[in-house]
Amino acid sequence: MEFSRVTLQQKKTNKGTWQPYVGDDLSWGQMLRSFPNKGYLNDVPWSRHLSNMGWHSCRWEFLEAEEPQAYCQSFLKLYPFRIGIMWIPDGIIGDYDCIKTLQDDLRSNLNLRVLYIRFRDSQHFNMDNYIKILIGGWSEPSNSFSANLTMILDISDSKKQVIGRLSRNWQRALNKSSQIPFNIVEIKDSSAIADLYLQLKASKALKSNEIFSENIIKSLMQVFDDKLIVLGVMDLEGNLLSIRGAICRDKIAMDTFAATNSAGRSLSASHAIFMALIERCQELGCSIYDLNGIDPANSKGVYNFKKGTGAEVKASLGEFEQSNSKVLKFAINFVSKYR
């Protein structure tokens, strides 16, 4: 993809501008290590994953006096009449003061007539950054793609201490699962995971966008490789009852796949596999397990399961949007609400 870079004269007359990042994957990864609060959604594997899903990966840096002040990893889809839709999965890397000109600078660099940008920031809610975002002309969308609440579980203690923080109902279910003979195995077959999700979809009447497709599963397993751990519960006949997976990066485990069929639910297999995955993440040096989103109003069962682990609720900055077209902004929110 070709960019129209801001000229040297424009740099001199402006305090700073967003420009295409000129480094490679290696230098990008090295830069990220200076920002420990920015997780896997800004990393190279996620860029490769969304590229597999048909998005153009675009990286940016905010230059002021030739020095970078902030960075951004974005994903773009282009449409006729020079229209672009951009998704930034984990916000700005660096100073949020730089967000004021993001929309205009990127639209200019990309030579687009219309550009819609939405970003989500998973960092814990910070009032200073929230105000900077609003002052920068960004607004919260009328229909969010994801929840701005998650749950964080401390797994730095021993297994006994982690179990000691479980709720009474959670412990009861875990004890029940321990009395049933089954095997816990590592799952490497994306089709097996996809099939279990299809069983879950059928039993709970879920929409297609509420489960992982095999293409998405295969891509995630490919790009994250041994950093993505997926464990499964199999009965003695070799039937897969439940799976759970996590991406382990920088001592943080991020909940990813989770599916249990009807037979597995009756045996509390989801409780057994969760504790087995926690142990594996501990072995890999993780001290925090991010349960990756809760929606207490619309997914009460999932919320109660995660709450029962003893995890603490955390609010993130959430989602924001900006566009130079009110019509496009309205259309995206309207379509996403009923997709």
Instruction: Give the span between the Cα atoms of 193 and 232, in whole angstroms.
Output: 9
Q: Is 51 exposed, middle or buried (0-12, 13-18, 19+ CB in 10 A)?
A: middle
Instruction: List Cβ neighbours of 83 (8 Å cut-off, separation of 6 or more).
Output: 112, 113, 114, 115, 328
215: amino acid identity, one letter: N
Partner residues linked to 289 by β-bridges = 153, 253
| Per-residue pLDDT tens over the stretch 100-153 | 999 999 999 999 999 999 999 998 999 999 999 999 999 999 999 988 999 999
Cα–Cα distance for residue pair 70/25, rounded to 1 Å:
17
pLDDT tier at 162, thresholds 50, 70, 90: very high
Where does 92-154 show beta strands of DSSP type E? 93-94, 114-124, 149-154
Could you read off the pLDDT of 30-87 as tens digits, one per residue? 999 999 888 899 999 999 999 999 999 999 999 999 999 999 999 999 999 999 999 9
Coil, helix or strand at residue 64: strand
- CA dist., res. 250 & res. 246, Å (int): 13
pLDDT of the residue at 13: 44
287: which DSSP letter?
Answer: -
Q: Is the pLDDT at 11 greater than 50, yes or no?
A: no
Structure tokens at 174: 């875990």
- List, in order, residues 6 or more apart from 254 with CB less than 8 Å away: 39, 40, 246, 247, 248, 290, 292
pTM value is 0.91
